Amino acid sequence: MHTLKLLSAFFKVNVQMALAYRADTVVNILLNLMWLGWELLSLSIIFNNTETLGGWGIGELIALLGVFRLVNTMMIALIWPNTEKFNQSIRDGSMDYTILQPVNSMFLVTFSRITVWRIWDLILATVLIVVGVNMSGGTTTALHILTFILLAITGTLIIYSLWIVLIALTFWFTKFDNNVTILQALMDAGRYPATVYPVWLRVIVTFIIPIAVATTIPLQALRGELASGQILMFVAISVASFWVASKIWKAGLRQYSGASS
């Protein structure tokens, strides 16, 4: 309950900040719609010249775009805004105030800033997934939907864990400002199914920088292409990833010397 109250407080503060700049919010939403139109136009151009891409049809690619935007929105709304703030807090010592709070510091670093207007993106992403699945004409059962939701959560958790590891490196390398640049760049690989990439790149986006685990894999579950053993494996990987990230975060905290040093 304490955690929920904190989340509610963070959300209210960030809503107030967003309402203070209403014009910016409207412009950002319009720009987002423009980019969505461009993405759909790009898919249309591709499928004017082919019927499938890596074995996926246009409906499935639209659904994948929805999953990508779903995960990417979570990153943009929570992770990217807090990265710059965290890096600055390490350099100027204001991280002291976060550590002294009677709440998990990793939680505070993650949720202190929320780009509230990105909720609109979540709605658009959900619409894209529903439309794409309907266009593909595949049979979707309640079990497939539940598995999709589970793997979307676990995939996002893996990306989040990777982010925690990357920003935790700032405890050791204070001026490590570009700690998530690679992650941001590789996120775009999730727009397309992993099957379109060569084997070496497929290994990278599935196991090293696991973008495909957060995008392609959940949609494969929605299509009923994953066995129960594979589903359990990805869930186990997400739990293990979070555990490792937590350990690295705690090690970083022990390394942190504070503003008084």
Q: Give the tens place of pLDDT for each residue, 165-175.
A: 888 888 887 66
Residue with tokens 């993106």: 121
Residue with tokens 């920088």: 209
Per the prediction, the chain carries an average pLDDT of 80
The whole-number pLDDT of residue 18 equals 67
Give the residue extent of every domain in the chain: 2-255
pLDDT surpasses 70 at 252: yes
85: exposed, middle or buried (Cβ count in 10 Å: 0-12, 13-18, 19+): middle
Beta-carbon contacts of residue 75 (< 8 Å; ≥ 6 apart) = 159, 163, 187
